[in-house]
Amino acid sequence: MNPPQKLYQYRAFSTLNITNVRSRSIWFSKPQDFNDPYDCCTAFKVAEPTPHEVREYYESLKQKHFDEFPHRRHQELRKEWSKFTGPDGLPNEKFCLVMQNEADKLLNALQNNVVENGGVCCFSEKCDHPLMRSHYAEGHRGFCLEFDTRFEPFDNARKVNYALSFPVIRVASLFEGRSVHDFISIASTKHESWTYESEWRLFHENGRQAYSYGIEALTRIYFGSKMSDVHRDLLCHILEGSETELYQIRASKTDYSMTSALLTYEPYDLAKHAHGRSKLSSKRER
């Protein structure tokens, strides 16, 4: 599924977030840093392999074993494999244990790569959600960034699915090279209670790092209704000269809605405050 035309990221006013705006970078967090303990592959179900899946893996592993030892007699190899074969010629319970052990090893390796080492960057398809501003934008004191998904890397964002039960991964996919794709799908699944976030995600092989994007991708910035003038002026100064549009969020006085208005940045005028600052300086010099 292609991402919507615009994606949004709610941010608190912090040194890291301001640095990322200045350097045109997005931060990829590690999953263990998230506020949801079930987020990103920490919880999933492994489906019981079907008889067909067991037989396919049995045949592929057996053939691989024969190919690896071409100098040995097939009779010897068949004898070795007889311990994994039942009277009916099908894989027996002992082979199923071998298959499960191999699956566990692959799952652990994938968890290390995707969960412990990988990075995730989160976005929303909504820019006007009051709970998102409260939870992720410092209680409306932060800001919200708007990105155009026609540009990299935002065009690769994946939609988060919401469910009531743990996602499922099939053992067969671990042996067919689809496991990373399945794990990213699992890492894009959250409990239904998070639906209000309308979330999309980007994934990277390394977490707790910032990665840059083209300046044209940042199309707007929305200043929270409680953001201080000083913080807003600093962001305006950083973005001065770019094509990024500046918008101020305001709380309605008649209902629970929020409105936004386009701003024109006016640099801080030191001359207007020169007299007052002169007095303060002279007083301190005495």
Distance CA 249, CA 223 (A): 6
Distance CA 264, CA 241 (A): 12
Per-residue pLDDT of the chain (286 residues; tens, 9 = 90+): 899 999 999 999 999 999 999 999 999 998 878 878 777 755 566 777 778 777 887 777 777 766 666 665 566 666 767 777 878 777 878 888 877 777 777 777 777 666 677 789 999 999 988 889 998 999 999 999 999 999 999 999 999 999 888 777 777 666 665 545 666 777 788 889 999 999 999 988 888 889 999 989 999 999 999 999 999 999 999 999 899 999 999 988 888 888 899 998 887 766 666 655 434 333 433 3
* pLDDT attached to residue 180: 57
* pLDDT attached to residue 282: 34
Q: In this structure, how many other beta carbons lie within 10 angstroms of the beta carbon of residue 165?
A: 10
Q: Give yes or no for a contact between 68 and 135, defined as CB atoms under 8 angstroms apart.
A: no
Two tokens, residue 240:
């001065």
| Number of independent structural domains in the chain | 2
Domain that includes residue 169, residue range? 6-41+119-262
Distance CA 8, CA 211 (A): 17
Strand partners, 122: 201
Q: In this structure, how many other beta carbons lie within 10 angstroms of the beta carbon of residue 178?
A: 14
66 and 149 part of one domain: no
Cα separations (Å) of 253 from 62, 179, 202, 226, 250?
73, 52, 37, 14, 9
100 and 65 part of one domain: yes
Of 69, 86, 115, the residue at which a domain comes to its end is 115
E strand residue ranges, 98-240 = 119-124, 143-148, 158-159, 161-163, 168-170, 189-191, 199-204, 209-212, 218-223
Strand partners, 234: none
* pLDDT attached to residue 281: 38
Q: Helix 51-68 crosses helix 93-110 at what angle (to 10 degrees)?
A: 80
Domain membership of residue 211 (yes or no) is yes
31 and 136 part of one domain: yes
Backbone conformation region of residue 140, classed left if phi is above 0, alpha if psi is from -120 to 50, else beta = left
* pLDDT attached to residue 284: 39
